Amino acid sequence: MHIVVGVKWVPNTQAVRFDPHTGTLIREGVPSIVNPHDLHAVELALKLRERYGGRVTAVTMAPPGAVKGLEHIIGMGVDDAVLLSDRKYAGADTLATSYVIASAIKRMGDVDLIVFGQETIDSSTAHVPAQVASWLEAPYIYYVEEVEAIEDNRIRVRRRLEDLVEWYELEMPAVIAVLMHSQKPRPVRLIHKLRAVLEKPVETWSNEILRLDERCVGLKGSPTVVTKITWMPEVPRKQKIFKGEPKEAVNWLIRRLEEEKILPTCGADKCGEGD
Ligand SMILES: Cc1cc2nc3c(=O)[nH]c(=O)nc-3n(C[C@H](O)[C@H](O)[C@H](O)COP(=O)(O)OP(=O)(O)OC[C@H]3O[C@@H](n4cnc5c(N)ncnc54)[C@H](O)[C@@H]3O)c2cc1C
């Protein structure tokens, strides 16, 4: 079985700042990471390889620096990786992104299952997996919590919604998006990481290899235009901060809770006694 797992190389949003004048992201100097939700997709793909055999290929469309992210994924145990990278792919919206990814999967030829994360932490549209499925004319299920069985070229998946669990059976090749936090991503192992560094299993496919119509990729192939981004004004919080020793802080908190009638009065001085 050949499983492809899609991972995105994203700016670490905790380090991202906004330009207050233009309202756009300041990406310069911001470190990138593998989209954390995609590690759950990688984990599920690796578990399926362990259960059913075959191989796992990671794929990303990104600038050349994303090789580092793919090496991290190989460090988790993925067999090989493909970086789809070309200046012509820059500025892509989700339609153009999914077109390039789907075209690469078609080029691979022998893919049985495509596994994605639920969404990214930077753009968070959750469009890409559905759009890839559409380009490939393949069945698609999202919020997949577990794959229960694969047999006779069919896959049985469990999908979790807030208060509901559903079971689906899909014909392969199929596309699934994995529910965030549903897996326990394994750590990078030195033996795999060494392979990533020594054997260099990451291939780069530019548009010279994929030969896609330039009108369908990058900015030219992107019908969606982000016209404006604004930053929500911070809502002032009713917040009191106490600085001091832990015991004083606890007494202070108890007095506040008593004043607000959240706790019955018990005599704050006594509450602080003992260990
Ligand atoms: C007009 C326009 C211009 C844009 N220009 C840029 C730009 O210059 N630079 C930029 O970074 N973004 C740009 N974007 C954002 C870009 O559309 C998204 O980053 C990208 O298409 C993926 O969408 P998403 O992050 O919402 O992924 P989602 O749909 O939320 O991702 C779901 C899952 O799909 C997979 N996935 C998503 N993206 C990739 C990928 N690239 N490779 C492999 N797997 C993937 C992952 O498994 C992920 O968990 C632009 C958007 C628009 C509308």
DSSP result, 132-162 = HHHHHT--EEEEEEEEEEEETTEEEEEEEET
Q: Which CATH entry fits the domain spanning 2-221: 3.30.450.20, 3.20.20.10, 3.40.50.620, 3.90.1150.10?
A: 3.40.50.620
Ligand 1, residue 129: give the atom nearest the CA. 34
pLDDT-derived band at 25, boundaries 50, 70, 90: low
Which residue has the least CA distance to atom 3 on ligand 1? 91
What is the pLDDT at residue 67? 96
Rounded Cα distance between 48 and 128, Å, is: 22
Which residue has the least CA distance to atom 50 on ligand 1? 93
Percent of the chain with pLDDT over 70: 93
Map out the domains of the chain as residue ranges.
Answer: 2-221, 240-275
φ/ψ region of 54 (left if φ > 0, alpha if ψ in -120 to 50, else beta) reads: left
pLDDT over 80 (residue 130): yes
What is the pLDDT at residue 30? 85
Ligand 1, residues 28, 43, 128: which to mutate, most atoms within 8 A of Cβ? 128
Task: Using the mean position of ligand 1's atoms as its centre, give its distance from the Cα of residue 122 in Å.
Answer: 8
Q: Is 88 helix (H, G, I), strand (E, B) or coil?
A: helix
Mean pLDDT over 116-138 rounds to: 96
Task: Using the mean position of ligand 1's atoms as its centre, give its distance from the Cα of residue 55 in Å.
Answer: 25
pLDDT over 80 (residue 24): no
pLDDT-derived band at 2, boundaries 50, 70, 90: very high
What is the pLDDT at residue 63? 95
Task: Using the mean position of ligand 1's atoms as its centre, give its distance from the Cα of residue 143 in Å.
Answer: 18
Ligand 1, residue 97: give the atom nearest the CA. 21
pLDDT-derived band at 267, boundaries 50, 70, 90: low
Task: Using the mean position of ligand 1's atoms as its centre, give its distance from the Cα of residue 98 in Å.
Answer: 8
pTM: predicted TM-score of the whole model, two decimal places: 0.85
Task: Using the mean position of ligand 1's atoms as its centre, give its distance from the Cα of residue 97 in Å.
Answer: 6
